[in-house]
Structure 1
Amino acid sequence: MKFRDGMWMVAEGMRVEYAEEVYDITETDKGLSLLCPSRKIRSRGDTLNTSTLTIDLEAPHDGIISVETTHWAGAARKGPHFDLFPGGQPKFEPKVLKGDKGTTLSSGSLSATVSSEEHNFGIQFHSSDGSKVLTSLASRSVGLAYNPAPSNPLQTGDMRDFKHYIFTQTNLGVGESVHGLGERFGAFNKVGQSISLWNADGGTSSDQAYKNVSFWLSSRGYGIFIDTPGRVELEIGSERCCRAQTSVEGQRLKWYIIYGPTPKEVLYRYSILTGRPNKVPSWSYGLWLTTSFTTNYDEATVNSFLEGMKERDTQVDVFHYDCFWMKGFRWTDFVFDSEKFPDPKAQIARLKSSGLVSKVCVWINPYIAQHGAAFKEAAEKGYLVKRKNGDIWQWDLWQAGMGLVDFTNPEAVTWYTDCLNELFDKGVDCIKTDFGERVPTLDVEWFDKEIDPHKMHNFYAFLYNKIVYEALQKRYGDEEAVLFARAACAGTQRFPLVWGGDCESTPEAMAESVRGGLGLGLCGFSFWSNDIGGFEGYPAPWIYKRWVAFGLLCSHSRLHGSSSYRVPWTIDGDDRSNEGCSRTLSRWTALKTRLMPYLIAQGSRAVEQGVPLSLRATCLEFPEDPTAWYLDRQFMIGESLLAAPIFDEAGEVEFYLPKGRWTCFFTNRVREGPGWFRERHGFGSLPLYVRENTLLVLGKPGIRGAVYDYAADVEVCLYQVKEGASADLLDSSGKALGTLKIAADGSALEGAEFLKGEWTKSNDGRKMEDESPSKTIEWL
């Protein structure tokens, strides 16, 4: 939403009024309240026929200041509202000081100073110690706008034909970059982009996003969280090159500035404000498999796929039944297709007892087709969203006559939960919560009459995933619940995990997925996945194999397609060679299995810090490196591993290593950063480098399946370690066992009493038990 036509003119059809000065400052219990008229007040007469903007600055927590701008305070505060400080808000006392430069509100490490200059408007946000200026609200940076522009103030007595906006413009410093705002598939740095935060089912190759998160992270050591689930329009250096503009339709705009100074500290404070991710069970890190979206799920087909995987030395931990576990035209009615599942409980039990898979997942969505068994009951009892005339809201997009579950109705929530429990009774362990983006805003009325339909559009994803996640927690335990969700908004990180949506089977789409995962991770989502091989289309063997390498280094890994299978032998005619799809999948699945002691420990730490496990943007670990803020073709896996996916059939790849010594995982050869490097790889490797001063615990070679004893028969690998280097040890339930640590002499290992069996220690990288990948790596 642009309000100006260049620097000098207002955009056509707009009337814009700015906060021109801070006329009055009132100290409140929580901070400061600023009265800001839209003209400079030089005489008493100037106070007449003039709009004002009230700016409330509050300090709810150390390092966090909220900024709420209001035009007409009488506007109703309709919900839904984000669930802030879900873990409880700590008591905090802000400080207000008056000095020569202005009035300062301090929130621990972060302060906001309101300029004392007469007839001036200015608010500077800075570290409380004065060492760093973060951003500011300068002249003509806060305002209101009408569209169309009223020609007479009397016209605003009837606002039905006008749209009213509030906007703020925070300053962008020279060289500052902006990241996040959800799972966005375009350029990693958002400066220069116009972005609309509005959930949509748009695939991974447009400016639309399934997961719009109203939070962005700056390279200058702060973040901005916009506290509204409604549509937010951002012009990030795209209306004024030196400013990031945020606008909403309405009478209020509230956002929080969050100080680090490091990006990890920003995300930690953001997680206190909006919620930390929960832990995920160890089995969820393993390989997930489905026979694909439109394909069959009869027992013979499922068994043949799982037996084929086992024969080719790949263990599947979770089998997923996508849409057609229910009959067509009946989604979602929670009823297994009786032709494919004559006895679903027994069929699922046989599947698990066979040892081919340990857990089962099924697909659902919140849309109830009128031909399904669930529709009649939901309609009669008022569990579906209605039109304003009392009819049930329906359309034929996606499912014929589908309605939408009204999660603002407590009885509808109970009914939906009962439907889920029937699935759990049949042996279902986890749920794929698909869709949730197509939520109507026009001609709808929710059960809760205090709901604003426009705010519910994005927020629906939070309610939907929360209800399903809590049902899983109640059945299986707080840390055994796991989702596979597509839609999200701020706060949904509390209900892991999510996947990247419908991508094409191309290298470009794989790169889009990387950018999406990086951006979402910078919004506090610890766990993320994507459809290996691409969802749409038929991947060429080389794309499939490159994607397998990338996908098995994500926190979670799933083989899933649309109308074609993703089991490896269907991709390349069952090439059984070392470079074939089957062997490639087996090798990368085995590598992830070996990494499980590291992944489970790093996953626990990621949850505590509110940061991503994988994909973790390089800038989170190396914020002082300017190059790290522009890297969108590589990622960190936890704190110590760096991976660079390959998007080229020939295997050539260019990547960047920050300052320090880095060891190639596959060869133990060492590179010195910072710098750009080029390599060529076969399908069994990619640039996977271990950071110096790393103590890496690897599971025993040959183990199949993600769940095993992570302290038994392990290999403890030392990479240029110094005194104090450490690694946490967790068991397969996520319980902490202890910490391994390098002693003062730089070589002795403390904490070895926590290890079991025939464990080994490798002092210069890991033991090379499989030399074949290293033979295909060329340094260019």
Structure 2
Amino acid sequence: MDRRDLVRSLRWVGSRDGWRAVRAAWRRHRIDARDLPGGGAQRARVPGTACGAEALPGGGVVWFAQSSLRVRVAVGGAVFCGWDGAAPEPSYALAGECPAADTRAVLEPDKDGWRVVSERITVVVFRNGAVEFRTPGGVLLRRELPPRWWDGPGRASCWVQRARTPADAVVFGLGGRSSGPGLPAGSYRLWNTDPCAAFGPGDDPLYITMPVQFVVADGGCHLVFHDNTWDGRVSLRDGEEGAGSGHDQLGGCEVRFEGGPLRYWVMAGSPGRVLGTWTALTGRPALPPRWALGYQHARWGFGSAEEVRRVAAGYRERGMPVSALHLDIDHLDGHRIFTVDRDAFPELPVLAAELREHGTRLVSIVDPAVKAEPGLAVYDSGTAADAFVRDARGQVVRGVVWPGETVFPDFTEPRVRRWWGGLYAERLQQGFAGFWHDMNEPTSFTAFARYGEATLPRSARHSLEGRGGDHREAHNVYGLAMARAGYEALRELLPGQRPFFFSRSGWAGMQRYGGTWSGDVATGWPGLRASLALVLGLGLCGVPYSGPDVGGFHAVPSPELFVRWWQLAAYLPFFRSHSAIDGGRREPWEFGPRAEECVRAALAERVRLLPYLYTLAHLAHRTGAPYVRPLWWYEPDDRRLRSGGDAFLLGKALLVAPVLEQGATARAVRLPRGRWYDAATEAAHHGGGQVLLDAPLDRTPVLVRAGAVLPVAAEGGLLLEVWAPAPGQTGSGVVITDEGDGWEPPRVERFTSRWEHGAVVVEREGADEVGYPVRVRGLRPG
């Protein structure tokens, strides 16, 4: 904590809310000291020597002296491993029931123990409890060493599992991490955390942590997911290439949890196949309504309906379309959820209707904490429904959040989710079209938060779908369960419309309910770089719809920084500017005429690309492939591409090279193989090497893959922008369209591009006519 933060904390502690937080922190400490199991002797345990095996559908069980391992290959290719009798279910990550076993996979004896051979992975179980995962060709993907447990009377069983991967392997994922996107060696905590301050590269943990590792190496890609919601830690160690032979050349990973089952899933293949398998298991990403791919503006501190009207009018006067305006906690009555400050927003439904006439929706913030105030409708109904989290002695747990002393719904109880979901009817009556879940790690303020946990007592009791447990197990899935409550309610309240949710916190599987954003990223060039790392990492965890607060959250960006941040965000799925109440305005005209001009150009390009982005949204929903992909997505065996994280692919067609350094007017980028065209100049570049691209303040360097058939918006409708294939090559593209916000089946059209008699021609699969106007680009010599 720097001196400025310390002074701010001291002042806050002296305030009324500060003293409440001090008392809440003391209560939390006292409750945990009273109700959590105490220390005591713990006994270490390892599996011991194998003593037999039993074949079962999809694999089988190997019995050891002190444990057992179940290996089960599921239909679709994912491999489940469960120690000590752990089963795939119950699980908050899985979408619906666990997939059936692939009966073609059989457990059979092997010279080292036993093996299970499947279409995509061969699993070898050694007699000492080690497990190897190999490609069908025999290339090592991952070697798990025998796990170790620490058991004690009345305590959860802690465990650690170490693994080795090829020396060249790079690990991505683990949720929303500000380092990366390739994660450097170090330790990463698995505990969703509000940092209670602006964050930048290296700050960890943040709001969304997931035990999901996406591992990329020369020999192949794999994803490993430890299905455990408890507090844990993943430690990564660099490989020691050249240090020796055999396993000495392997990198390292250690996974440690404070309790819960030792169970995990492994899936392998190309990046697209891995994420396809992963999202088939945990749920395909929700398809946002088409308007949610437009630009959205938020501010903590609009203060009044008239200020909202003023900002909306400012965008309209400048010809800058805004798809949504977001109202933060200041529109609520005393920060109480599901209320409205009637003095500042006297006729909110009227305001929503006015904005809707101009194509702008209203989005409402929703926090989970309910003010503990008898007479408040939400509190009274929640009390009557016995909806709030209690401690081990049956007392309702209280904390401190924006409205003061608060209580917290237990979203792990189905009837509480139904009660909570019914509250969104009030938001719909106010005219809101989408919802923004905040403070749902969950956060409860504490004094000097960096030195204590700003959440509920670890001993607080939760339903956990009727199984019963405490906050140590429920904490990481609290935001996920809250998103489920809202999403399922909106499906009933508005059955003909796709819900729009994004959540600050979540866990594996959150993509099936909506997306997320960066949270309180620091204003500054490091914060800009962290924004891209977060989006790329989350995409590789199966959460494709995300983006940062443009400009950073807490401070006023320089005009140059604001422009570069806006230019990056214009190519990301969730495009929103946002700031703290003391962080300055984010309207583009506040940064001067030059900045406004640059922002206008970036927004115009975003609008032009909306048909392409909407197609990517549908592809993500169908296959799990993220909109924003690392440069190595189609060439994971290229180590040079794996080492770069400051540029990205937007779908297959575009390569975006944002400017992330102050004062830069050019930047280098390493290109994937093939021919690429500069989108501004149409100059051709040959892939496989590094190029230097001009990056004046008024544009972001963007390259287009040769042969791409790109759907873009044009006057009168949709236009196919076709970029000339390389000589002797063909290209392709897809267009997916629907009504924009409902559930009707979309229209899918596939196109190919090729040279014929010295000209570029385009054909639509299964049709004689293309059906759209075509513009051919990339015909310059060279």
2:56 and 2:771 mapped to 1: Cα distance? 59
Letter in 2 for 1:415: W
Shift of 1:449: 5.2
> Which residue is equivalent to 1:698?
712
- SS of 1:542's partner is helix
Aligned counterparts, 1:107-126, within 5 A: 107-115=118-126, 120-126=128-134
- SS of 2:233's partner is strand
2:513 and 2:260 mapped to 1: Cα distance? 32
> Which residue is equivalent to 1:325?
331
2:468 and 2:727 mapped to 1: Cα distance? 56
Alpha-carbon spacing, 1:648–1:327, altered in 2? closer, same or farther (3 Å): same
Alpha-carbon spacing, 1:15–1:407, altered in 2? closer, same or farther (3 Å): closer
1:660 and 1:14 mapped to 2: Cα distance? 58
Unaligned runs of 5+ in 2: 1-40, 240-247, 443-454, 741-745
Determine if the alignment matches structure 1 residue 54 to structure 2 residue 68: yes
> Which residue is equivalent to 1:618?
631
1:664 and 1:581 mapped to 2: Cα distance? 23
Aligned counterparts, 1:649-688, within 5 A: 649-652=662-665, 653-688=667-702
- SS of 2:205's partner is coil
Q: Deviations over 1:286-313 (max 9, x none)?
A: 11012x11331x2321111111112222
2:523 and 2:131 mapped to 1: Cα distance? 48
Of 450, 453, 457, which residue of structure 1 is paired with 2:467?
Answer: 450
Whether the aligned pair in 1 keeps the contact of 2:555 and 2:584 (CA below 8 Å) is: no
> Which residue is equivalent to 2:516?
498
Shift of 1:364: 0.7
Of 348, 361, 364, which residue of structure 2 is paired with 1:362?
Answer: 364
Q: Deviations over 1:484-516 (max 9, x none)?
A: 211110000111221111111101001111111
Aligned counterparts, 1:422-571, within 5 A: 422-438=426-442, 440-447=456-463, 450-453=467-470, 454-477=472-495, 480-563=498-581, 564-569=583-588, 571=590
Whether the aligned pair in 2 keeps the contact of 1:634 and 1:655 (CA below 8 Å) is: yes
Shift of 1:729: 2.1
Of 106, 114, 122, which residue of structure 1 is paired with 2:117?
Answer: 106
Which sits farther off after the overlay, 335-344 or 232-241?
232-241
Whether the aligned pair in 2 keeps the contact of 1:663 and 1:690 (CA below 8 Å) is: yes
1:87 and 1:389 mapped to 2: Cα distance? 34
Q: Deviations over 1:738-766 (max 9, x none)?
A: 22222573722213877667x24224269
Whether the aligned pair in 2 keeps the contact of 1:62 and 1:109 (CA below 8 Å) is: no
Determine if the alignment matches structure 1 residue 65 to structure 2 residue 93: no
Letter in 1 for 2:353: A
Of 278, 295, 302, which residue of structure 2 is paired with 1:287?
Answer: 295
Determine if the alignment matches structure 1 residue 250 to structure 2 residue 264: no
Shift of 1:413: 2.5
Whether the aligned pair in 2 keeps the contact of 1:524 and 1:612 (CA below 8 Å) is: yes
Shift of 1:478: 6.5
Letter in 2 for 1:92: D
Letter in 2 for 1:235: S
Alpha-carbon spacing, 1:133–1:651, altered in 2? closer, same or farther (3 Å): same
> Which residue is equivalent to 1:142?
147
2:710 and 2:724 mapped to 1: Cα distance? 6
Shift of 1:618: 1.7
Q: Deviations over 1:190-240 (max 9, x none)?
A: 352211111011253311121112211111311101111222321222899
2:260 and 2:507 mapped to 1: Cα distance? 22
> Which residue is equivalent to 2:185?
192
1:122 and 1:505 mapped to 2: Cα distance? 46
Shift of 1:684: 1.8
2:693 and 2:778 mapped to 1: Cα distance? 22
Whether the aligned pair in 2 keeps the contact of 1:79 and 1:452 (CA below 8 Å) is: no
> Which residue is equivalent to 1:337?
341
Letter in 1 for 2:254: Q
2:208 and 2:260 mapped to 1: Cα distance? 25
Q: Deviations over 1:517-569 (max 9, x none)?
A: 11111101121121111111111111100101001110120111112444435
2:81 and 2:457 mapped to 1: Cα distance? 27
> Which residue is equivalent to 2:645?
632
Letter in 1 for 2:228: T
Of 196, 204, 228, which residue of structure 1 is paired with 2:199?
Answer: 204
1:492 and 1:415 mapped to 2: Cα distance? 20
Alpha-carbon spacing, 1:732–1:316, altered in 2? closer, same or farther (3 Å): farther
2:72 and 2:193 mapped to 1: Cα distance? 33
Determine if the alignment matches structure 1 residue 272 to structure 2 residue 280: yes
Alpha-carbon spacing, 1:67–1:327, altered in 2? closer, same or farther (3 Å): same
Alpha-carbon spacing, 1:247–1:529, altered in 2? closer, same or farther (3 Å): same
1:61 and 1:108 mapped to 2: Cα distance? 10
- SS of 2:508's partner is coil
2:427 and 2:779 mapped to 1: Cα distance? 46
Q: Deviations over 1:562-598 (max 9, x none)?
A: 12444435632xx33xxx2222221111101111221
Q: Deviations over 1:255-281 (max 9, x none)?
A: 111111x12211111111111102112
> Which residue is equivalent to 1:10?
none
Shift of 1:385: 1.2
Alpha-carbon spacing, 1:171–1:411, altered in 2? closer, same or farther (3 Å): closer
Whether the aligned pair in 1 keeps the contact of 2:260 and 2:473 (CA below 8 Å) is: no
Determine if the alignment matches structure 1 residue 86 to structure 2 residue 99: no
Of 166, 170, 175, which residue of structure 2 is paired with 1:177?
Answer: 170
Unaligned runs of 5+ in 1: 1-12, 38-51, 147-155, 704-708, 767-780
Alpha-carbon spacing, 1:251–1:318, altered in 2? closer, same or farther (3 Å): closer
Q: Deviations over 1:649-694 (max 9, x none)?
A: 3224332212222111111112222223334422221221112221
Shift of 1:475: 3.6
Letter in 2 for 1:276: R
Letter in 2 for 1:747: V
2:265 and 2:496 mapped to 1: Cα distance? 30
Superposition TM-score, scaled by structure 2 size? 0.83
> Which residue is equivalent to 1:736?
747
Alpha-carbon spacing, 1:335–1:122, altered in 2? closer, same or farther (3 Å): closer
Identity %: 20
1:273 and 1:312 mapped to 2: Cα distance? 46
Shift of 1:22: 2.3
Determine if the alignment matches structure 1 residue 417 to structure 2 residue 421: yes
> Which residue is equivalent to 2:61?
33
> Which residue is equivalent to 2:388?
384
Shift of 1:24: 2.4
> Which residue is equivalent to 1:591?
605
Superposition TM-score, scaled by structure 1 size? 0.84
- Aligned residues, how many? 697
